[in-house]
Structure 1
Amino acid sequence: MPMTVHDMSLAQTFPRSARETFARNYPETPHKLTHSLTADARLSLEGLASLAESLPETSIEYNRGDLPVGIDGKPGGTGLSIGETIRRIASSNSWAVLKNIEQVAEYRSLLMELLEQLRPQIESATGELLTPQAFVFISSPNAVTPYHFDPEHNILLQLTGNKAMTQFPAGDPRYAPDRVHESYHLGGPRELPWAEDLLEGGTEFSLAPGEALYVPVMAPHFVRNGPESSVSLSVTWRSEWSYGESDARCFNGIARRYGFNLRAPKRWPHANRTKSFSYRAYRRLFGAG
């Protein structure tokens, strides 16, 4: 029998060409990569269903899959359990995410082996690799992940099925207004307001098994699944720059409450240190915003 990725070293999951592409584009430019992580038993439907049933409820989110690109609030469920949702994903009309799978030892091992391959490129650009996390997305045919953004550096590896992610420029207030950034970093939702005229500014990236996509910090995006069910693995990390951007947004949000409308934080390589340190001092004195 051929060995699965679980049986062998993951040292070549990202080939040299992918690592070189990543180094040229990280951290601000979206780009596609190739990978060989397509046959790992930990990422099979049964493996993921068992994982989901062992995770705390706070690490599981699942809902209907037939959603519009833009939604107001959290979507409704299907009435299935998470295990049933995953095992029947081809017909359950669902979208599910398993969060922080690194809290389970064998999945943390998977995450860290993947990130170690990219650590030199990451740390030469944005410094120490912080807060590694992993998420798995399981989607029914034609499911939609609505328009939103995320605070991490992120590589999405497509494992089974096909999907298309449409990304929009990070830091451009046309696609994610400053007030929404501030609200999110101060504890609000990550879903973004959507209008059809935004679509002309997006770039669509099609993903098939063996392909991956880098998503910059806070780059707005939505995802449409293909005609088959899909499994994707998201490996994420933070940098001091990403935390500084988050803190600066919080500082601006606090200032806005007092009537000040401050300039938005600058994108990498600007460090936003003054606002970041100011918010951290505020938080030590008064608690989170």
Structure 2
Amino acid sequence: MKPIFENEARQKFAEAYPEIPHIIAHNLRAHPLLSLDALAVLGEALPAPSVEYNKGDLPVGIDPQHVPANGMNIGDTIRNANTSGSWAVLKNIEQIPDYAALLLELLNELKPQIEAKTGNMLKPQGFIFVSSPNAVTPYHFDPEHNILLQLSGTKVMTQFPAGDPLYAPDETHEGYHTGGHRNLVWHDDLSVGGTEWPLHPGQGLFVPVMAPHHVKNGTAVSISLSITWRSDWSFAEADARAFNHMLRKWGASPRAPGRFPAQNRGKAIAWRILRKLRG
């Protein structure tokens, strides 16, 4: 059976992981679990907190409280993606056994390259995005190591340097890791620092942990699958950020955690102890 990621793709990934964004070729095109009809059924089967959808005609920067609903249910949003003018994400698809098997099949092909750099591959999760023509995913960041696989349609992800406070201030990181939203504040002058990554079917894009980005869909319905995982490093970075949040509340000006391969163990352990004491 032909692998999803062939040798050349795996080698390229190994050289760039975990901090360098890059295009990775894949062979995941038509799949019975990833058709619009199958995804509509999946959306209807997932629990409500695992489904997010709204109008797709959005600005790059928007307060999440102001994102307008599309007036439809998730099944109709996906089945009518060509005309619904919407954006939808199905979260944690691994809750459904068939999708869990697909996710692990994909990640297992890259597991040796992942674990050689960042240790055990932790918390594998999958997210499927179904976007109407010209839909926008606003400016945000995510805590996982992530490969976004383009399955149908096209899109352009504009990605910004991970860990640079110009694009996501330290206070914003700290707020996110203590319960805040993933969306970031956008200013038009940030655009000069972005790199555009056009994506077509058969291409994926590796997105480093917490790399800010926004996405603009092409002129056809887009289906994309994010295969994600965590590492001890990514969890330590998150916990160090949370500890810094507490230090800042006490009036300190804490130093930001280091990017990989920095371990950030001291602050991470301190935060975990405090969290345990708080119950």
Structure 1-normalised TM-score? 0.95
**Where in structure 2 are there 5+ consecutive unaligned residues?**
none
Correspondence 1:254 to 2:250: no
Separation in 2, partners of 1:162, 1:124: 32
Q: CA deviation at 1:51?
A: 0.7
Cα deviation, residue 125, structure 1: 0.1
Answer yes or no: is 1:30 the counterpart of 2:21: yes
Correspondences of 1:160-199 after superposition (within 5 Å): 160-199=152-191
The 3-state SS of whatever aligns with 2:156 is strand
Give, as a single letter, the amino acid of the residue that structure 1 aligns with 2:100.
R
Aligned with residue 41 of structure 2, among 36, 39, 50: 50
Q: Does 1:229 align with 2:221?
A: yes
Cα separation, 2, equivalents of 1:269 and 1:216: 13
Secondary structure of the 1:232 match is strand
| Partner residue, 1:70 | 61
Q: Give the root-mean-square deviation of aligned CA atoms.
A: 0.7
Percent identical among aligned pairs is: 59
CA distance in 2, matches of 1:23, 1:83: 38
2:87 is the counterpart of 1:98: no
Of residues 173, 197, 209, the one that matches 2:201 is 209
SS across alignment from 1:172 = coil
**Distance between the aligned counterparts of 2:85 and 2:27, measured in 1?**
28
Aligned to 1:5: none
Count of aligned positions: 278
Between the aligned partners of 1:100 and 1:160, the Cα distance in structure 2 is: 20
Counterpart of 1:269, as a letter, is P
User: Match of 1:17?
Assistant: 8
Secondary structure at 2:57 match in 1: coil
Q: Deviations over 1:66-106 (max 9, x none)?
A: 00000012411111110000000001000000000000000
Matched ranges for 1:263-278 at <5 A: 263-278=255-270
Asked if 1:117 corresponds to 2:109, the answer is: yes
Aligned residue for 1:29, secondary structure, equals coil
Q: TM-score, normalised by structure 2?
A: 0.99
The one-letter amino acid of 1:66's match is: D
Task: State the distance in 2 between where 1:172 and 1:111 align.
Answer: 31
